[in-house]
Structure 1
Amino acid sequence: MNLKVNGRQVDVSSDIKTVADLLIHLGLETKIVVVERNQDILQKEDHQDTSVFEGDQIEIVTFVGGG
């Protein structure tokens, strides 16, 4: 399946069915992230129930602490 993630075309396995699956695939499941799917910002509790489809545009923002 082909997705656009943070502006880049990414080919992922058809086993990835949800945003949560995608975050696991990208190694971001333990990070604090904000996810936008097709210009809709998702709540964290919706990641498991939000499906991803061929051609979806996903933006993922991670937070980095420091000082």
Structure 2
Amino acid sequence: MKFTLDCEHEDDGRWLAEIAQLPGVLAYGNSAQEAMTKAEVLALRVLAERLEHGEAQPLDISISVPAAA
């Protein structure tokens, strides 16, 4: 399964990032990067919980994380 991380700038100045394929996975941040990082962390936690509780089956996965600058 491929997940899409969407990010948008709110009128109040905050950034909102979410992964629509995982209900409830959304996070706010002071920057786009902060919001996206928080949403990605939350997504990984949700997926881990689903596996631990037998709500999902393990699949072949590919995770790529850019090197820190």
- The answer to whether the superposition gives a TM-score over 0.5 is no
User: Which one has more relative contact order, counting CA pairs under 8 Å at least 6 apart?
Assistant: 1
From the CA coordinates, give the structure whose radius of gyration is larger: 2
Question: What TM-score, normalized by structure 1, do the two folds share?
Answer: 0.25
| Structure showing the higher helix proportion among its residues | 2
Higher strand share: 1
